[in-house]
Structure 1
């Protein structure tokens, strides 16, 4: 039997699953790559499950299906707003009425699933792809949400051991490690109508190196360190252009520094073409990682773009020897690593080749689907089968 062949025994009804996707307002600063990743993962999972004979309904905002095409791989799509308001929870509860199992992705989607399944015995699997973050009073609310989800879920899947430990501390009865690969974009990283040369020209990077960072403009992303490092790149000939795709509360502070210090940095705001920007870049920059599994680190290796990253979180585990890693919080070390790499085309070629090999060690989409399906079977099959 092939990895994608039907698994439904003759005469039995197919397993009915609901996939819940869509973060809350707290994540609205960071949606360029994180939501792209979540949507691509759920589309990949839905495609694999449907190919194995599983009925899949994806509950997600209307625009998410337009972008990722869940219905195009055989899943049903039920529009559910990105909100925990009663109308959103009621729509989700209706969609889950005949489900054998519900699988929610991310903390906020998981919380909505918990509310929708209240009073029902439907198994709930939740995947935590990343750390949810908040400060002040919202941090306490975040802990409450995590505890509510962890205790209510039948199984919590964490993409890193740190997330698994966090789920256990929050009261999860069953928390497991489930590394999830980053599915390649269906159209690749470059677009035929916007080749890299055109993208670079649009950004003002013709004839000079283009460096890219992607992430919300907040204190956890290290953009202030990136501006510190950019001062050291001004004497380079030609000086590289740094572009940052993302939006957030520090935008005004960062823009003021860029202007006052005449730094070769552009803030692009929130972009829907982050993959194309990445494909056009000479280097990807990760001055800090607030994510459990850095999306940019994985995207850069897939796209064969050399990466310079702070040695934080799970970055070393993800990239292995396929990136230039520097001590966290050290702008001089970061600036020096970038300058060395720009001056060394052979090292950049080596990192691209290592990146391809490293990405090949990550779980394939088929392996990810098979792992998830084994959890589904465990939770839905009668004892002794």
Structure 2
């Protein structure tokens, strides 16, 4: 698994720099860490405290150090200086930055002296208002200038960056999921699985149609659109229930806006039991790179309804797009798609089986991890690159 020019007595060291430390990004980084430690690499993870990444990386066998780059430009420079000191101590052969803040800090600290992979996960200029978006575009252009490779989770994400004149050395690596952790359960025991989840046991009647949304409660994930659609869903399917799994800054506002039949489960340790308990999984995002939650649900054999943003279309087999995709911020279209599938159990079963087949063939996390290692191998295969990394310590 190591680049062929590395001396056999030397262990390849990869430094992952990540901010934020929760949500789908943390799951992606933790998965890469597990696979790279198993491949024999020395892995160091630098990230802020909190979230789930520190614990997951430590359990996987990585060396974990505290680092953050929050706040103003001045504190960002301070974070970059701390990162530069950390890099000198860790001595990585390659740095892999995750998220826009981490990417900017690595750009300031490294300036191309060490092979650098930048993985934005989501473009920040898709989230901001017009003025902030222009600033974000300028920042991303600077960041990718120093990156030897920019990893996107979908061709749509790459195209969005290119359209904003973010000129990266692109690699498109579709998101993958751990097919050992996310797998179908026995549908004959679905009610039993619901009864094992306290948030459902006392709130959702036995046999009621259940729609599950697993996502951080924030503007990006679009739960406010889902709540506006839910009134129309229950008008057509009166006994249907919706569960929002996750926590986040919009929790209080979503609580106030929620109609009857909506359950807030809060943050959970693992999403797989919720997918297996569901009849249908929904993710009404406003923007994405390629979201993990739909892939996880598909790996559990569940049909999904997604907004047609980011890599949503690319994560589906072409013959399922019409049933699964709706426009973003369109409550009526979302309600119609949910209602159609809730009213057709046989169609849900067939769609879930088709999506399961697809995710197993196209979105296995082991394949994604192997592709990332191939990117590392490519960057480190030429001896002058390795020499330059040594000089940059």
Q: Which TM-score band applies after superposition, normalised by the shorter structure?
A: 0.7 to 0.9
- RCO comparison, higher one (Cα < 8 Å, 6+): 2
Task: Label 1:202 to 1:59 Cα distance change in 2 as closer, same or farther (>3 A).
Answer: farther
Task: Label 1:372 to 1:336 Cα distance change in 2 as closer, same or farther (>3 A).
Answer: closer
TM-score of the superposed pair, with normalisation by structure 1: 0.80
Query: Alpha-carbon deviation of 1:21?
Result: 1.6
Query: Alpha-carbon deviation of 1:284?
Result: 1.0
**8 A Cα contact 1:19 1:58, kept in partner:** yes
Q: Residue deviations 1:96-149, cap 9 Å, x none? A: 12221101112222112222224x611211112223221144323322321221
Equivalent position SS for 2:301: coil
Task: Label 1:145 to 1:315 Cα distance change in 2 as closer, same or farther (>3 A).
Answer: same
TM-score of the superposed pair, with normalisation by structure 2: 0.78
Alignment RMSD (CA, Å): 3.4
Matched, 1:355 2:355: yes
Query: Alpha-carbon deviation of 1:160?
Result: 1.4
How many residue pairs get aligned? The number is: 364
Q: Residue deviations 1:306-329, cap 9 Å, x none? A: 212334443222122457325425
**8 A Cα contact 2:176 2:292, kept in partner:** no
Q: Give 2:391's aligned residue.
A: none
Measure the CA separation in 1 of the matches of 2:8 and 2:234: 70
Equivalent position SS for 2:289: coil
Q: Give 1:28's aligned residue.
A: none
Q: Give 1:302's aligned residue.
A: 299
Task: Label 1:369 to 1:254 Cα distance change in 2 as closer, same or farther (>3 A).
Answer: closer
Equivalent position SS for 2:324: strand
Structure with greater helix share of residues: 2
Match runs of 1:1-385 below 5 Å: 11-23=8-20, 35-63=22-50, 64-68=52-56, 70-81=57-68, 83=70, 85=75, 88-97=79-88, 98-118=91-111, 121-132=113-124, 133-168=127-162, 169-184=164-179, 195-199=193-197, 201-202=200-201, 204-207=203-206, 208-216=208-216, 221-235=221-235, 238-246=238-246, 254-258=254-258, 262-268=259-265, 273-320=270-317, 321-322=319-320, 324-328=323-327, 330-382=330-382
Equivalent position SS for 1:233: helix
**8 A Cα contact 1:211 1:243, kept in partner:** yes
Measure the CA separation in 1 of the matches of 2:224 and 2:249: 13
Q: Residue deviations 1:50-97, cap 9 Å, x none? A: 3333222111234445541x2333322222236363554344222212
